[in-house]
């Protein structure tokens, strides 16, 4: 294994993560992000072993357009939670450089106070070109930090494309941060994002911006009244906050806790977690099937030929897919016959 993955066995990884060893936790996340087959097998064994120790954290997704102050808000909220005895993990999904594939943003430099706390763990995750900027292994990383004893897990999205929908599908509470703008405050915000928000917070409500923030909050609250809520037992609130002045964050956290209480009593909290686990399974299944499709040389060769025919209009996409599925079944049958 590489120097980054010095811990050699599943037992050592598991013991280190459960003991809250930050260095081992970082290496374990590196392990699950690895594309190597041997690392993937080891990672899945590790996740299975740690499964009984996961699921106890409060999972919170946070999104917002660039400039809304996500990192400042997470830094301040995280420190507030640490001061009240919580252990906070932040999984910050970064944009990826199309040339190098590397993570552009340095989250530990953007969350200066939280990064220095021993009760916090910040992990930037390159998106590697996946849907909407959501890191492919965010769910696994979430499980690892939960097993390490972090009781609040915050997933920060890049705020572009479909990343919000993907993150909302893996957390207990989804917070949308917005800025008070001039004129039409609803301009630029997608209806779909408002429909999946469990709460909206208008940021930078300080100084001369307080009145604008309050007006924007009223506008958004009115707009939410005509949308279908995320739950029949929860009305999406709109708050104004100032991370710079640490104002409104206590009320924000109280609302997050209130939401958890409502969802727990109604049974929706457990149902949502169960549905998310099944969705995770379906995503992995699709990924494995696609990998199988791409790694079988004969299938991959025929797939390329069929793509050319579809592109030229000589074959319908449906017939092309049917042929590929039949070919994969035939290949699988041949393998089973040879080994049977």
pLDDT (mean) for 270-279:
92
pLDDT (mean) for 288-297:
81
pLDDT of residue 340: 61
For the cut 70, the answer to whether the pLDDT of residue 300 exceeds it is: yes
Interatomic CA distance for residues 73 and 221, integer angstroms: 21
pLDDT of residue 190: 63
At residue 234, φ and ψ (nearest 5 deg) are -145, 130
125 has which bridge partners? 93
For the stretch 89-121, pLDDT in tens is 999 875 544 434 444 445 555 788 999 999 999
Interatomic CA distance for residues 220 and 237, integer angstroms: 9
For the stretch 164-197, pLDDT in tens is 788 888 999 999 999 886 444 454 556 678 888 9
Q: Who wins on pLDDT, 64 or 45?
A: 45
DSSP state of 67: T
Q: Who wins on pLDDT, 244 or 337?
A: 244
DSSP state of 237: P
Instruction: Tell me the pLDDT band of 279, cut-offs 50, 70 and 90.
Output: confident
Instruction: Tell me the pLDDT band of 317, cut-offs 50, 70 and 90.
Output: very high
Q: Who wins on pLDDT, 27 or 229?
A: 27
pLDDT of residue 183: 40
Strand order of the β-sheet with 58-64 is 120-126, 88-94, 152-156, 58-64, 173-178, 199-202, 238-240
Q: 15 vs 6, 30, 45, 48, CA distance in Å?
A: 14, 16, 13, 13
For the stretch 143-162, pLDDT in tens is 999 999 999 999 998 655 56
pLDDT (mean) for 298-322:
95
Contact 236, 255 (CB under 8 A): no
Among 217-221, 230-234, 259-263, 328-332, the minimum mean pLDDT is found in 328-332
Interatomic CA distance for residues 189 and 178, integer angstroms: 9
Interatomic CA distance for residues 274 and 303, integer angstroms: 36
pLDDT of residue 20: 95
All structural domains of the chain, each given as residue ranges with its CATH number in brackets, are 1-53 (1.20.5.170), 55-266 (3.40.50.300), 278-339 (no CATH)
Mean pLDDT of the chain, nearest integer: 85
User: pTM of the entire structure?
Assistant: 0.84
If you average pLDDT over each of 44-48, 129-133, 184-188, which comes out highest? 44-48
For the cut 80, the answer to whether the pLDDT of residue 128 exceeds it is: no
Q: Is the dihedral of CA 237, 241, 247, 252 positive or negative?
A: positive
Structure tokens at 167: 């993150």
What percentage of the chain has pLDDT greater than the value 70? 84
């Amino acid at each position: 294994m590489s120097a980054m993955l010095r811990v050699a066995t599943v037992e050592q990884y598991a013991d280190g993560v459960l003991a809250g060893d930050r260095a081992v936790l970082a290496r374990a996340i590196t392990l699950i992000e690895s594309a190597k087959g041997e690392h993937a097998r080891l990672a899945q064994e590790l996740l299975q072993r740690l499964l009984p120790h996961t699921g106890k954290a409060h999972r919170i997704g946070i999104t917002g357009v660039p400039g809304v102050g996500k990192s400042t808000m997470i830094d301040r909220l995280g420190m507030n939670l640490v001061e009240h005895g919580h252990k906070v993990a932040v999984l910050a999904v970064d944009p990826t450089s199309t040339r190098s594939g590397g993570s552009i943003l340095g989250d530990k430099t953007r969350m200066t106070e939280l990064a220095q706390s021993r009760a916090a763990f910040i992990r930037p995750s390159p998106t590697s070109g996946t849907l909407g900027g959501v890191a492919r292994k965010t769910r696994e990383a979430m499980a690892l930090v939960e097993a390490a004893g972090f009781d609040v897990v915050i997933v920060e999205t890049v705020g572009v494309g479909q990343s919000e929908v993907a993150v909302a599908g893996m957390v207990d509470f989804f917070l949308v941060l917005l800025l008070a703008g001039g004129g039409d405050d609803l301009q630029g915000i997608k209806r779909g994002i408002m429909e999946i928000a469990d709460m909206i917070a208008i940021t930078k409500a300080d100084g001369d911006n307080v009145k604008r923030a309050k007006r924007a909050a009223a506008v958004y609250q009115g707009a939410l009244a005509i949308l279908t809520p995320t739950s029949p037992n929860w009305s999406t609130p709109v708050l104004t906050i100032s991370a710079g002045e640490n104002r409104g964050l206590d009320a924000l956290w109280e609302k997050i806790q209130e939401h958890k209480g409502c969802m727990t009593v109604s049974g929706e909290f457990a149902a949502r977690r169960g549905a998310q686990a099944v969705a995770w399974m379906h995503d992995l299944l699709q990924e494995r099937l696609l990998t199988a499709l791409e790694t079988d040389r004969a299938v991959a060769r025929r797939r390329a030929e069929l793509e050319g025919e579809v592109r030229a209009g000589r074959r319908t996409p449906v017939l092309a897919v049917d042929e590929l599925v039949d070919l994969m079944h035939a290949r699988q049958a041949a393998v089973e016959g040879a080994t049977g």
